[in-house]
Amino acid sequence: MANQLQESGVTGSVSSRAEGKALWGGRFEGALDPRVFRFNQSIQVDSRLWLADLRGTLAHARQLCELGVLSREDFGRLESCLLNWIESAQKGELHPFFSQSRFFEFEDIHSLLETALVEALGDVGKRVHTGRSRNDQVATAFRLSLMDEVKSLKAGLLQVLDTLIVLAETRGSAILPGYTHLQRGQPVLFGHWALAYVEMFQRDFERLDTLSPRLRQMPLGSAALAGSPYAIDREAVARELGFLGICRNSLDAESDRDFCIEIASFSAIGMMHLSRLAEDLILYCSKEFGFFTLGASVSTGSSLMPQKKNPDVPELIRGKSGPVFGQLQSLLVMCKGLPLAYNKDLQEDKSATFGALDTFRECLEVMSVFLSNLEVNGEQMRSAAETGFLNATDLADYLVGLGVPFRDSHDFAGKLVRLAMDRGCELGGLKLQDFQGVCPLVAADVYEALTLEASVGRKKTLGSTNPERVKSALSEARERFIRMKTE
């Protein structure tokens, strides 16, 4: 960056302020120290607000025309210029300034835009900022651009959800151990496991919907902090830009960054979910578990150990959750001591917010690629579920069915586990006399009660791993998914 700035001539005593490119040069004498210029600069991060700033500027200019600040003719020229740039930006073609070294002479994207307008249209460009401050301009462009970003996050969530639902639909009837404390607990259906993550990501999706109405409030028209002396119809501007309403108080409008904190929080919670899924995947891909085989296109090898196939993708997802939690923390700390209204601290909002959501979006994308390349080893899952006494609770419940109080049946089942351990077998390997030695009521049907199918089938409650329940949970999840997608 320093090199680029040097090449562009932003060194020594030269400054964009001295050259008239800054938006605030009038009351200053002499040049801005280049180190301070660079320190103050945000264009590297906020250039991605270009499209949003063009749209915000057009809506503001329309009001200036209504109010007679811009003549119809001037507005017409301005409108066609802005629409032209908007159309190009939508195709990914940016203004020529973006590829020129002078790009680095601008303090921020708003300075670049104003210079671009002045160079293209002369005085008309100089009138555009009437009744507006960068404070409401930046907050508006930032919210507008996040309103778009939110759509792509929804798409990312839907992709992961779809992959998980397909896994449940295709391999859902396999049975694997369910764990507590990472110790084998009770058998569950693989579909039940996948649907647990579906729940998490569907909650994330809902969270986006609930934060959206607060994000979609427009600050424009609050000017620097006190409001604008031009009778801008803020409601009309908000409608034109797709906001739901306007920020009600000009001081709050300039300095409110709750929407950043909410998006970072949403991203952090989503990353926590991805990270938990990643942890299960890493464990289950290990030889010790062997429930999944890593797809060749989504795993990496070792430079030294020829046999290795590593789950780098979920490990990186787990690792990248930390910085996202940090970005949420940064935003909270950034805001906590700020007096009203705008303070330059707030310029740090973009790197933290975009950083959090970019990481989340990328992790969602690679997680769905990773999941769709996963081979599910039903046999391995089953044999793990068949060992380690996962049916001990089923035995206790079988005894309850014979009239034994649960506390006693728990004790009897525990004794039988002990006996089986001594014999080096599972509960199903004990003889009928062994069962009857502990509890004389046990009959031959105990063996059927101890199977994996009986264990999952015995569960009755809504939300349980009973195959019928899982089947309906799956079709409900699929229906919710379709609704989310078509909304």
Name the catalytic one among 302, 383, 472, 475: 302
- Closest CB to ligand ARG among 97 and 291? 97
* Residues 403, 408, 410, 414, Cα dihedral to 10°: -120
Residue 138 vs 390, nearer CB to ligand ARG: 138
Three-state SS string over 85-123 comes to HHHHHHCCCCCHHHHCHHHHHCCCHHHHHHHHHHHHHCH
The C-alpha atoms of residue 149 and residue 160 are separated, in whole angstroms, by 17
Beta bridge partners of 189: 175
Considering the complex, state which of residue 310 and residue 347 has its C-beta at the smaller distance from ligand ARG: 347
**Distances in Å between the alpha carbon of 417 and those of 192, 237, 399?**
27, 72, 14
Say whether 265 is catalytic. no
92-121 footprint of ligand ARG as x/- string (CB under 6 A): ----------------x-------------
User: In whole angstroms, how close is the CB of 84 to ligand ARG at the nearest point?
Assistant: 25
Residue recorded with tokens 């908007």: 86
* Cα–Cα dist 232/206, whole Å: 35
Binding mask 71-90 vs ligand ARG (x if CB under 6 A, - otherwise)?
--------------------
Compute the half-sphere exposure of residue 157: CA atoms within 13 Å on the CB side of its CA: 30
Please say which residue, 136 or 204, places its beta carbon nearer to ligand ARG.
Answer: 136
Crossing angle of the two packed helices 190-215 and 134-171, in degrees rounded to 10? 160
**What backbone torsions phi and psi does residue 35 show, to the nearest 5 degrees?**
-70, -35
Query: Using CB under 6 A, which residues numbered 128 to 147 contact ligand ARG?
Result: 134-135, 138
Whether 110 is catalytic is: no
- Contact map string, positions 196 to 225, toward ligand ARG, x by CB under 6 A: ------------------------------
Q: Cα separations (Å) of 218 from 6, 9, 252?
A: 38, 37, 11
Of the candidates 244, 222, 224, the one whose C-alpha atom is nearest the C-alpha of residue 235 is 244
Q: How many residues bind ligand ARG (CB under 6 A)?
A: 10
**68 contacts 74 by C-beta, under 8 angstroms:** no
Nearest-approach distance from CB 390 to ligand ARG, in angstroms: 56
Task: Tell me how far apart the alpha carbons of residues 427 and 431 are, in angstroms, rounded to a whole number.
Answer: 9
Least separation, in Å, of the C-beta of 211 and ligand ARG? 21
CB of 351 to ligand ARG, least distance (A): 10
Q: Which tokens hold the place of 463?
A: 């939300």
- Rounded-to-5 percentages of helix, strand, coil across the chain: 65, 5, 30
Q: How far is the CB of 103 from ligand ARG (least distance, A)?
A: 15
Nearer to ligand ARG, 344 or 407 (CB): 344
CB 381 within 8 A of CB 171: no
| Closest approach of ligand ARG to the CB of residue 344, in Å | 6
Q: Give 110 or 216: the residue with its C-beta nearer to ligand ARG.
A: 110
Which position has the token pair 């909304």?
Answer: 487
Residues numbered 30 to 59 that lie near ligand ARG (CB under 6 A) are 42, 46
Q: Looking at beta carbons only, is 135 or 409 nearer to ligand ARG?
A: 135
* Nearest distance from C-beta of residue 109 to ligand ARG, angstroms: 8
DSSP structure class, residue 47: G
> Considering 99, 181, 297, 303, which one is annotated as catalytic?
181
d(C-alpha 371, C-alpha 362), whole Å: 14
Distance CA 14, CA 327 (A): 35
User: 49 vs 317, which CB is nearer to ligand ARG?
Assistant: 49
Residue 141 beta carbon to ligand ARG: minimum distance, rounded to whole angstroms? 9
Site for ligand ARG in 330-359 (CB under 6 A): 342, 344, 346-347
Residue 126 Cβ, how far from ligand ARG at the closest point, in Å?
Answer: 18
How deeply is 29 buried, as exposed, middle or buried, from its count of CB atoms within 10 A (0-12, 13-18, 19+)?
A: exposed
Query: ω before 341 within 30° of 0 (cis)?
Result: yes
Number of C-alpha atoms within 13 angstroms, CB side, residue 336?
6
Query: d(Cα 316, Cα 426) in Å, to the nearest integer?
Result: 39
- Based on CB atoms, which residue is closest to ligand ARG, 138 or 331? 138
189 in Cβ contact with 175 (< 8 Å):
yes
Residues designated as active site: 181, 302
- Site for ligand ARG, rule CB under 6 A: 42, 46, 108, 134-135, 138, 342, 344, 346-347
